[in-house]
Each structure stands twice: as C-alpha cells, then as structure tokens.
Amino acid sequence: MSSKIERIRAACSIGWAWKILGLPGSPNRTCKSPFREDKKPSFSVYMSASGERWYDQAEGVGGDVVDFWAKAREVTVQAAVEQLGNMIGEAKPPTAKYIPAEEKLIDWPDDLCRPTVMECVSLSMLRNLPSGCFDLAANLGFLKVGTHKGELLWFLTDASRRGAEGKTFTGEMCAASGKKTAALPGTSKSWCYGLISDRPEWNAMKKIVVVEGLPDFFAALALLIDCPSNARVISMLGASTKPGDECRKYVRDREFLIIGHNDKDGIKAREVWRKRLQEMGADKVIVQDLPEGYKDLCEFVSANPPDQTLHVLKGFSS
C-alpha cells in the first residue's frame, strides 16, 4: 500500500486533483475550502518536509493528495488509492534518463520524467489550451515533470540538456523561488528552448516560430497542430534575454516568425531578437503583432477558436 501511495504522490498534485474534480476556487497557501462554504479563507495547500499537504483549519483535518481525493469523493482512503492508481496506471516510480557525465550540464531532478496523460489534461485545464499541444511537447521531449526542492513542477526543456524552467500545476508561485517560475541550477537563459528535439523530423524543419516564456510555447504548438506550415516553435525564457552564440548553427538559413508579448518589454524584445537572428545568419525574420487587447499568445489562443487564431502565422504562408 505504501509504495502505491508514494507513486500516486509522485504523479498527482493536490492542485491537479482539485481541478480534475471540478472543485470551486483554487488551491493556495491561504484559500477558501473547496468542501464547504467558507466566508473567511481557512484552508491551506502547502509544501512540507514530507511533501505536498492540505489542512482545513476550521475542521482540523488535512493530509496528502490521497486524503484530499478521499474527502472530495467521500470514499475511504483505500478506495481513493485504488481510484488514483487506476488513473495513473500504477506505473513504476519514474527514473531519470541516463545522461553521460560529460553531457550533463544541469542538475536534473532524480524523478524527472515524461508527464502522465492526466498531468497533460491538468495543464490543458489550467491554461485553457488543447491537451494535444502538451502531449506533442511530451512526445518531442520538451515537457517534463519532476520534483524541485520538494515541489512537483512541470518543466520546459529540450534535448540540448542546457537547462529547464518549471512552473506549478496550480498556476501559483513556486515555493523554492517565490516567483512564477523556477529555473534548475545551471539553466542557460540565452538558449532557445525547442531548438533540439528527440525527433529528427522536428530538427529538420526550416520554419521556426519564436515566442517568449513557457505558456506561449504550448500556445504556439496548439496553433501549429492545426496549421499546415511545417513549422516548429522555440522559446526565449524572458524578454531580457536574446539568443546566444551556442544557437548560431541552428539559426543559419532558417526562417523565423517572432510573436512576442504585447507589453513594453515584449515589444522591445521582439526587435532585439529580430536583429540578433539576422546577425546570426537567419534567412528571413518576420515580426507578427498580436491583436490589440491580448497580452500574449497564450491568452489569445485560449480565448478564441482555431479558425480565428491561425492568421497570426500568415507570415509563413508565402
């Protein structure tokens, strides 16, 4: 029983269970109870030395994700273990892919692995994007899940092994960094994530969409699933960064479409990236504006049906 519970804890977060169960509100360090009327927030979801926990101050009860599921479904802990075990397939504990010492550029979490189907569904619900874009990212080796400083996160990375940047499954701040994202030690900000995949057919594509940040990476993938442009997507981890010299050989003779954020920093970054890519030998660089009123590509794609979003890729149609 204990080993099965450990597998569930590794694969399922309380935030994931909260959303899958369709409970009201959202988990946080201080929030309203999803189980009862709670005028004054008295519920808490937090990280402890033993992992993610929840506690209801008004009722004096709490526990882990299994206890949370049991209370929400009004079933026994044993029944909750069986239900959650069936959902994750009771897979063996994930192990990190072996990386030769000379190639290991960052410290990977010991449990870094491909996300489960339910984790992709959880991210789909969180970002209001089709689950297919997260499945595609996982298949290409860009989306991973692992525990960083006691917190389960999803990461954007790629086959270069130059780093990874993670976010929570709840959309809340990362406990370790106190920010929206947490970068693994050694992560290179100047690398364009998505340049190198586990799949050679992806690496061979000459058309590349450039976006800013993690959510926009998946939003761009959602667009490319429906667009016959034979293009791929890369992401810069922040508006203040630009492609480094290590990207040069992957830039030369490629065609780029930049879709940045609509704020002041994003507009400035787009121009910096355009000039930098041209310096590095890009064949063609196009900058595409988002419609007014949308701060980023993820917000735009999640708010509109596919037939009203594909026009942002029009630069690749010629």
Identify the three-state secondary structure at position 147.
strand
Q: Please give the domain boundaries of the chain with CATH numbers for all domains.
A: 2-88 (3.90.580.10), 104-318 (3.40.1360.10)
Half-sphere exposure of 88 (CA within 13 A, CB side): 28
CA atoms within 13 A on the CB side of 226: 18
Q: Report how far residue 185's alpha carbon sits from residue 175's, in angstroms, rounded to the nearest whole number.
A: 15
Q: Report strand pairing: 165-167 vs 207-212.
A: unpaired
Res 314: pLDDT: 80
pLDDT for 88: 66
Least confident of 10-19, 26-35, 105-114, 230-239: 105-114
CA distance 65 to 126: 18
Give Cβ neighbours of residue 93 (< 8 Å, ≥ 6 apart).
6, 7, 10, 111
The pLDDT mean for the chain works out to 86
pLDDT-above-90 percentage for the chain: 45
Give mean pLDDT, residues 289-309.
91
Neighbouring-strand partners of residue 211: 235, 259
| Spatial separation of the C-alpha atoms in residues 144 and 25, rounded to whole Å | 27
- Percent helix / strand / coil, the chain, rounded to 5: 35, 20, 45
Which two three-digit tokens encode residue 283?
């064949």
Burial of 36 (0-12, 13-18, 19+ CB in 10 A): exposed
DSSP letters, 178-190, are SSS-EEPTT--TT
pLDDT of residue 148: 87
**pLDDT-based confidence at 104, cuts 50/70/90?**
very low
Q: Which residue has the tokens 């969180």?
A: 126
- The reply to whether the predicted model has a pTM over 0.85 is no
Please list the residues that pair with 89 across neighbouring strands: none
Quote the CA–CA distance of 88 and 42 in Å, as a whole number: 30
Class of residue 163 by CB neighbours under 10 A (exposed 0-12, middle 13-18, buried 19+): buried
Residue 15: per-residue pLDDT: 82
